[in-house]
């Protein structure tokens, strides 16, 4: 079956760094997405990885290892506004997104 | 670019009535639109995938006669919740994928919060 695993909740301190891990099992693979979702709002796109390696975009970076079925989202210089749920989604061979349950990130001052 | 709108943003209706939600891609043409439902503190649940001019493909467990989807053009898809009941109360989110796909990114609408009383 198809499955995405990510931690349910994480806590970090303002100004620190946090890494949110995601492992996936899909029928075929066409890339890995990370989305941010604030409470009561729709998800917003953060990153897309289809090749192995690290993609950096400002304070946010995303890493992919296809051989390990593993990705992580790295958030640096955490700000209070980064408190949100972070959704990992893998795209299968039918270009369908398989969603993780999301990781709720709590930022403390 | 790549803006998706939804209307209404929130709606309250009585049990037994029908509610229509519109999803529009404002500045691009969408080959495919997706409808999701999200209950509090849960992840997105894909309800159906629709391609312009063809019938929607529903996920297992989603009643196609209850959740009517029409994808009349490359910029508009509608979801009608027929004979709504309190258990249909949820956050409904649509997303759209570009016609000229590059990363197959889905652009999300702002969501519609439905409350059935």
Averaged pLDDT for residues A41-47: 90
Q: pLDDT tens-digit profile of A68-78?
A: 999 999 999 99
How close, in Å, is residue B43 to chain A by CA atoms?
5
Contact between chains at B43 and A91 (C-beta distance less than 8 A): no
Could you tell me if B105 lies within 8 Å of chain A, comparing CB atoms?
yes
Pick from A83-97, B75-89, B93-107: least confident: B93-107
How close, in Å, is residue A71 to chain B by CA atoms?
17
Contact between chains at A43 and B43 (C-beta distance less than 8 A): no
Q: Confidence band (pLDDT; 50, 70, 90) for B99?
A: low
Calpha distance A45→A68 (Å, rounded): 23
Could you tell me if B99 lies within 8 Å of chain A, comparing CB atoms?
no
Q: How far is CA A53 from CA A27, A36, A76, B102, in A?
A: 21, 21, 18, 19
- The closest alpha carbon to A48, from A90, A106, A6, belongs to A90
Calpha distance A37→A28 (Å, rounded): 26
Q: pLDDT tens-digit profile of B16-57?
A: 999 999 999 998 888 899 999 998 878 889 999 998 888 899
Averaged pLDDT for residues A84-96: 91
How close, in Å, is residue B85 to chain A by CA atoms?
21
Please, which contacts does A11-15 make with residues 24 or more away whose CB atoms are closer than 8 Å? A11/A105, A11/A106, A11/A107, A11/A108, A12/A75, A12/A78, A12/A105, A12/A106, A12/A107, A12/A108, A13/A78, A13/A107, A13/A108, A13/A109, A14/A78, A14/A79, A14/A80, A14/A107, A14/A108, A14/A109, A15/A77, A15/A78
Given a cut of 60, is residue B101 above it in pLDDT?
Answer: no
H/E element, A64 = strand A60-65
Enumerate the residues of chain B whose CB falls inside 8 A of the CB of residue A48.
103, 105
Tell me what pLDDT residue B106 has.
83
Enumerate the residues of chain B whose CB falls inside 8 A of the CB of residue A30.
104
Tell me what pLDDT residue B96 has.
92
- Residue appearing with tokens 């209950």: B39
Residue of chain A whose alpha carbon sits nearest to that of B91: A40
For B44-59, letters b (16+ CB in 10 Å) and e give bbbbbbbbbeeebebe
């Amino acid at each position: 079956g198809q499955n995405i695993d990510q931690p349910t909740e994480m806590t970090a301190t303002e100004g620190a760094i946090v890494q949110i891990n995601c492992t996936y099992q899909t029928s075929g693979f066409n890339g890995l997405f990370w989305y941010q979702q604030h409470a009561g709002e729709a998800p917003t796109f953060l990153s897309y990885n289809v090749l192995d390696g690290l993609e950096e975009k400002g304070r946010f970076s995303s890493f992919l290892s296809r051989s390990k079925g593993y990705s992580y989202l790295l958030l640096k210089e955490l700000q209070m506004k980064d408190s949100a749920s972070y959704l990992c989604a893998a795209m299968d061979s039918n270009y369908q997104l398989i969603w993780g349950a999301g990781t709720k990130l709590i930022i403390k001052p | 670019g790549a803006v998706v709108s939804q209307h209404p943003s929130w709606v309250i209706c009585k049990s037994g009535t029908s509610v229509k939600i519109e999803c529009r891609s404002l500045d691009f043409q969408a080959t495919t639109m997706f409808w999701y439902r999200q209950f509090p503190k849960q992840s997105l649940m894909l309800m159906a995938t629709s391609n312009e001019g063809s019938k929607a493909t529903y996920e297992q467990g989603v009643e196609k006669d209850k959740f009517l989807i029409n994808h009349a053009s490359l910029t508009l898809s509608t979801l009608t919740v027929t004979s709504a009941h309190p258990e249909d109360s949820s956050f409904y989110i649509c997303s759209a994928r570009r016609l000229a796909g590059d990363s197959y990114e889905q652009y999300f609408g702002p969501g519609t919060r439905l409350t059935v009383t």
